[in-house]
Amino acid sequence: MDLRGSHTAFIKQAAARLGFDYCGIAKAVKLDEDAQRLERWLGQGMHGAMKYMENHFELRVDPSKLVPGARSVITLLQNYFPAKQQQPDVPKIAKYAFGNDYHEVIRGKMNQFLAEIRENIGEVNGRGFVDSAPVLERSWAQRSGLGWVGKNGNLLTPKSGSFFFIATLITDLELEYDDPFAKDHCGTCTRCLDACPTEAILPGKIVDGSRCISYFTIELKEMLIPGEMKDKFDDWAFGCDTCQDVCPWNRFSQPNKEQAFTPIPEILNLQSREWETMTEETFKKIFKHSPLSRTKWKGMQRNIQFLKTREPD
């Protein structure tokens, strides 16, 4: 086995040892087709008030802008499907937010991953990203052979569905590359399009981010949610899993084994009235390490109130 082969084998073993469920590697190249799609999407205003999406365009499509001399893009997936589900008739929270903030959990693993690579292979220039930098992680996952991008815009894996966090490590290390995932297994299925409460999923694998419930309940910083969305949230108070819940490929989802993703009991059990009476101090204490801290106490209060108000008959 040559150096590329031995380095690749070590990296995949290290990823598994750190608890990642999948590891794929692609050659670092400029993503020209993705650049065109992203440009069209931004041009149509589908990012809404997420103005940060317009920033650092070149960095999103060219890995060498993030890591000079980039040769390989390593994609890691970690399952977050929970062992326990929410009680009926409570404000719904997206499953990715049941436990501790994945940014903190996976960033720690990525730092360790890169440290192990340097310790065993030598001086390697690399940067890890976890959904917080201008990286088109789903495109790299597909190029790394891990799955395909479904009609709902999520990465779908043929054996485990879509309840995964995606982490990306760009490095100047030359490695053996996996074959891209070539087939789209969505076929003629339109369950995600049909089920989307706000009709944010459009034909052609386009998601109008400015109509997505996750956008309104997390990204939108204004204290007023547009009235046209009344009665369309289907009780989602933070994020939305509808398009994933109806996807046939998620029948293969298995509970994750990451202790840090153990559901916070309040998320599973709190009724609307308990959310309403929760003080900001209590919120900060319970959700200090939770993704819910992103929308803050005021944001959650706004979301809960919005679910309560109904359009008059």
Which residues carry out catalysis?
131
**In residues, how long is the chain?**
313
Residue 107, burial from CB neighbour count under 10 angstroms (0-12, 13-18, 19+): middle
Burial track 279-297 (b if 16+ CB lie within 10 A, e otherwise): eeeebeebbeebbbbebeb
CA distance 207 to 195: 13
What is the rounded CA–CA span in Å between residue 263 and residue 19?
Answer: 18
- Given the structure tokens 């298995």, which residue do they identify? 254
**Amino acid symbol at 123:** E
Our CA angle for 108, 112, 118, nearest 5°, is 150
- Closest by CA position to 109, among listed 134, 78, 79: 78
Provide φ and ψ at 74, rounded to 5°. Answer: -100, 125
The kind and range of the H/E element at 79 are: strand 72-79
Beta-carbon contacts of residue 224 (< 8 Å; ≥ 6 apart): none
Q: Between the CA of residue 295 and those of 38, 181, 182, 215, 247, what are the distances in Å?
A: 26, 35, 37, 11, 27
